[in-house]
Amino acid sequence: MDIQSIELGMELKARNKQSLFVCEKINDEKKTVEGRMIRKGGELGKRIMKETAENILFAQTVLAGFERNAQ
């Protein structure tokens, strides 16, 4: 998965299945993806996560930790 394949509102489930990343903002120019990381257990686990990539290879490495939610 690369940064171009990510869409707003897309839910990506972490490989450990303990958290879900909901994409809320994409900046193709700066190669950043912002959204909420929701952990199992509810509201207390919510936090803003911003992944910044210097280049597309780093973006792919960052996003490789997530896979599409099958739901």
Could you tell me what percent of the chain has a pLDDT over 90? 0
Question: Is 0.85 surpassed by the pTM of this model?
Answer: no
| pLDDT of 52 above 60 | no
Q: How far apart are CA 22 and CA 54, in angstroms?
A: 22
CA 28 → CA 41, 56, 57, 58, distances in Å? 32, 10, 13, 13
Average pLDDT value over all residues in the chain: 56
| pLDDT per residue as tens digits for the range 12-41 | 665 556 666 677 777 777 667 777 666 665
